[in-house]
Structure 1
Amino acid sequence: LQELKLGAIKIAMKTEVPILPVGIIGTHKIYPRGIKFPILFKHKIIIKYGAPQYLNKLKSRDKIYQKEELNLLSKKIKELSTINA
């Protein structure tokens, strides 16, 4: 999982739109590093959706709140990206 950026949090707070966390499992088997074309139809991809994350617009300028929400979102995506979740 790549590091998440605060931009999505800021946009979601400003527009009052929830963020939907999504975990995708199995992409490394279909598109491993170093190959030009994906290996289709041999492996299964699993996509898991979490509950929408609603953010508090009133705290949109609070950097600590933004970072806490970003950390929670990152944790949720990591949970969704495991087979046992």
Structure 2
Amino acid sequence: MGGADAVLIHGKTAFAAGEYRWAAELLNHLVFADGANTSAKELLAKSYDQLGYQAESAAWRDVYLSAAFELRHGTPDKGIGSHVLR
């Protein structure tokens, strides 16, 4: 795709056009390739916000908005333990 800068430009263009799923697809690859790219992480979080706001399913809304939160604040220190599932 022409490198990280080109992918970020394509992601910005897709986001501006309201193509949030395509923007998220592009930016997700970029974030996994370079986790320190704060511009890509922030735009990916914004894309997930928009997908969450548009989701009709509460489960999908939770997934998108939780992903956006984790991109901005990091993953939680402690998850759900297996004792909760018993």
Same fold flag (TM > 0.5): no
User: As a proportion of its length, which structure holds more strand?
Assistant: 1
**TM-score normalised to the size of structure 1?**
0.29
User: As a proportion of its length, which structure holds more helix?
Assistant: 2
- More relative contact order, 1 or 2 (CA 8 Å, 6+ apart): 1
